[in-house]
Structure 1
């Protein structure tokens, strides 16, 4: 599965989210993102790209 460029960008900080979405070994498959971190994502970007590890850790 090829990701669109917009799916590779963290919706919070705008940097590479290092996601391999759709592949079983992606780091995002094993991470639980707290609701308050998800709430930081702008409405127009919700559900379109993964939040990067840095933002998940920063806003824990």
Structure 2
């Protein structure tokens, strides 16, 4: 009877390890997507900041004179 509990426990542990591995793979994929999208987000942020700066300079008194 004792050996059955050991085998059952090992099977349960194997299931947990497989679940952890599956989640880790998903996190790795997500991290890769974030890493590849980060430069694009940075570029858009810089573009928007430059555009807002240009618009703000156009509203300043005496701009364009």
- Taking structure 2 as the reference length, the TM-score comes to 0.18
Find the structure with the greater CA-based Rg.
2
| Higher relative contact order (Cα pairs below 8 Å, separated by 6+ residues) | 1
* Structure 1 or 2: more helix by fraction: 2
